[in-house]
Amino acid sequence: MTSAWKLGFLLVVCIAFIASAAAQDAQRFETFGGYSLTHSNAYFPQGSNLSGWDTSTTVFLNRWFGITSDFAGHYGGANVTFPATPDFTPGVYRETAHGHNFLFGPHFTYRRSRYAPFVQTLFGVQHTWTSNTVLVEPICAPFTCTNLPPVGTTSSGSATKFAMAAGGGLDIALGHGIWLRPIQAEYLLDRACCDVEVRHGVFHYYGYNINTFRYSTGITFRFGDHLGGKK
């Protein structure tokens, strides 16, 4: 066999291998679940990591495009000391926060035989709940302030606001429809409300963006009817 024939045969084999890899099995549904971490200064002045969970389900309309629903929860706490002033000895408060995201949107996957990188952009809402408990009572100079909360006083509040996430990740095949997702990294935005500004005697309410990073890792399960490729 001449060198040209050998080269041609090798080229055909390579093309067949690539086609086979590209024609890997693709199933209608995938479900992901795992650990999730966010970092934000939305709840605590110094910023903090909030640990939690992330789960999502994607319904594929074809081999590369699907619709994802994503649900996640993150939880954290920190002790906060307010700055001292000449007439005020600061109190110490225990701040706790829970944030739950409910997001939906398009998902794009590039399928290969052993790995599948993806990107997605999701929109929805974030529901937050925060509370603070007085650990050390603030002290004021006489006649400068009144009605300060005593130790043990707890107050709380909640809000629901617009949120979105944009990013991507990588799935690596383990076999039998089980895939490892070592990384899913996303920019997470939620819309805080509301600051108040008075202009010409009129109250103006406006929101502002809170920018957060979200990292998730876990296991993906694929199942359902096939979307072409090998059965």
Q: What is the pLDDT of residues 201-223, one digit of tens each?
A: 555 555 667 788 999 999 999 99
More confident residue, 10 or 126: 126
Give pLDDT, residue 178.
95
% of the chain with per-residue pLDDT over 70:
71
- Measured in whole angstroms, how far is the alpha carbon of residue 40 from the centre of its chain? 11
Residue 115 in this model has a pLDDT that exceeds 70: yes
Q: What is the pLDDT of residues 79-110, one digit of tens each?
A: 877 766 666 667 788 888 888 999 999 999 99
pTM listed for this prediction: 0.73
- For the chain, the structural domain boundaries read 32-226
Bridge partners of 111, per DSSP, are: none
Cβ-Cβ contacts under 8 Å for 139 (sequence gap 6 or more)? 88, 89, 91, 148
Question: Across 102-116, 155-169, 190-204, which has the greatest mean pLDDT?
Answer: 102-116
48-60 and 27-40 as β-strands: parallel, antiparallel, unpaired? antiparallel
Instruction: Determine contact, residues 100/73, Cβ cutoff 8 Å.
Output: yes
CA distance 37 to 182: 13
Residue from 215, 192, 205, 194 nearest 41 by CA: 192
Q: How is domain 32-226 classified at the CATH fold level?
A: Porin (2.40.160)
CA distance 58 to 222: 9
